[in-house]
Chain A
Amino acid sequence: MSDPADYFEEMTEQGGVILHFSGDWTIAHISAIDKRLRQLAVPVTGVDMSQVSAIDTVGAWLAYRTASEHQAEITKATSEASRLISEVSGSSVMASRPEIAPFLRVIAEIGEAVVVAFTTMLQFMGFVGQVVASLFSVITHPGRLRLNAITQRFEMVGVRALGIVGLMSFFIGIVIAQQGAVQLKQFGAEVFTINLVGRLTFRELGVLMTAIMVAGRSGSAFAAQIGTMKITEEIDAMRTIGVSPIEALVLPRTLATVLMMPLLAFYSSIITIIGGGLLCWAILDIPPVTFIQRLREVTPMTDFYVGMIKAPIFGAIIAMAGCFQGMQVENNAEEVGLKTTLAVVQAIFLVIVLDAFFAIFFSSIGWD
């Protein structure tokens, strides 16, 4: 029924060439003919459209382009074809983004990255300042504290994380105890596995693993929620109504995470101990009673303090990194994903860096 678009050339007596178009000049049949028309190197003086069986705007554009490139005349077009051709003939050259040489582009990108890094750092500091300022204003006007929002976050950040944090901690306890048992057995010092499990868990792993889990669960959720609200202009709406987004969104999330982190970290530590204890019982034949007795002897109270001091600080970092990245979202949906990833990466990175500082700090004040 439909022939593909085609043409043949006819020499005229004046030395010009007339192109006779035929077939369906529609988008479905046009790709091949477009390449041929572009390579046309003969003096075209006319385009005969009498054999064209169907035409759409793309076909009309090709006819128009060919004719105007060669200053040729379009003849015998049907009324439909001429209408389409005149309709597309006003289409002008499309502006494109200016191209930059690759070398310059790399330099420009490096420069841009440096500027972005510094401005982001400044903005983050400003953001932390805003949160602290709004915390003080809430402390002086306690009526403005959004208790409902905070308790809701308690559930999201804390209660709902119990399952996954517990499971993770249990297995980590098993892994530490098992590795410790295997290595220490070589010295006949299996009993020190209990020291390893107890001290490592309360000091470092309980809080660190919890922080990583909370960053993945809640930090990312904060960034995505706030980022989506930013795109749908809900944040702007809040501002115009007179509600401070920092006070309504960021502060409840931050407070909830700060309060939940120590509880989760403690819970995680206990479950890790249980996991390690069960492994000691199964592999090293250390009964639970002995395990607990020994644990109380070798784990100083300061280990517990170290963990509990770090936990709320990590919580604050995670929540603020999440909220901050959420507020940085602009323009499009892809940014939400990007900033969410960034929130988690930044939170975990900052937590680990800070953890290193804490390790040195606490041993230098004698809590080792």
Chain B
Amino acid sequence: MGLMDRMDGPDRYNRDIMISVRGLHNQFGNQVIHENLDLDVKRGEILGVVGGSGTGKSVLMRSIIGLQRPDAGEIYVLGENLLDDDIAGDQEVRRRWGVLFQGGALFSTLTVAENIKVPLREFYPGMSAALLDEIARTKLYLSGLPADAGCKYPSELSGGMKKRAGVARALAMDPELLFLDEPTAGLDPIGAAKFDRLTKELKETLGLTVFLITHDLDTLHAICDRVAVIADRRVIAIGKIDDLLATQHPWIQEYFSGPRGRAAHRAGAL
């Protein structure tokens, strides 16, 4: 049995599949959130995850990044099984991903620059203060924040800047994989469009793979390579938006062909 497991894991994983979820089952009390959910995220793509409120998008992300232990199923991230007892391997994977939480989740007692340095200090205690400063500065620049934002505390930042600061911290370790949980929620349309551009730029310049939970139709059309739709406790469809439009599922039709969906589609087509 052990041999089969080992064969199954790395065998299914190859360099081009960054995240592989199989048969995921999540349940809170009597409420089943995910049942037999499968999902693959390919290297170098921006995968948008959509679904109605309460369909378990965030729970899916929390399961993948190991904050929520699923009741059943397999999760491989960067080839590492996160549900086994190999703690050291899990830690190794953690330095290869970055996570942006919905509210930014910046440490409120540290400045933005210190926030960025937290993962660096944790994994590379020997790094000199000057280099830490320079790295923090570079990440601030990459995430599109002005240089003077580094010495500010999170409470002194606007909502959009907090998200950018969150991205800067997520990028601190030069991850291969970036998780974004509703990055444009609560931003004005201009800020949201800027954030979309930032995500796309980062993906292109740093070669990131992005797992993006969103409700924002504009984001889906503008930057996502593929979109996964969660409904009925599993991923009911995954693919380019045009392919999704061809499916007959009522929720997908309503989501993408409603007035907002059509407007975003027109804008995306331009």
Q: Which residues of A contact B (CB under 8 A)?
A: 26-28, 30-31, 34-35, 38, 56-58, 61, 65, 80, 83-84, 87-88, 90-97, 330-334
Contacts and interface: CB of A to CB of B under 8 A. Distances in A.
Given A95-B148, A95-B151, A57 B126 contact: no
Given A31-B124, A331-B155, A94 B113 contact: yes
A27 B150 contact: no
Interface in B170-199: 171, 173-174
Contacts of B108: 331-334
A57 B138 CA distance: 8
Contacts of B130: 38
Question: Majority SS of interface residues in chain B?
Answer: helix
Contacts of A92: 137, 141, 147
A75 to B, nearest CB: 21
Nearest to A38: B130
A88 B138 contact: yes
Contacts of B136: 94
A332 B109 contact: yes
Contacts of B140: 91, 94
Contacts of B207: 80
A333 to B, nearest CB: 5
- The 6 A-B pairs at the shortest CB distance, nearest first, are namely A332-B108, A91-B141, A56-B174, A331-B155, A95-B148, A94-B137
Contact of A31 (B127, B138, B141, B147): B127
Contacts of A65: 134
Interface residues of B, number: 33
A26 B135 CA distance: 12
Contact of A61 (B134, B151, B171): B134
Interface string B127-153: 110110111111111100001101101
Nearest to A92: B147
A57 B174 contact: yes
Nearest to B134: A61
B262 to A, nearest CB: 36
A329 to B, nearest CB: 12
A4 to B, nearest CB: 13
A44 to B, nearest CB: 18
B31 interface: no
B118 to A, nearest CB: 14
13 contacts: A27-B135, A34-B131, A35-B128, A57-B138, A58-B135, A93-B137, A93-B147, A95-B147, A96-B150, A97-B151, A331-B108, A331-B155, A333-B108
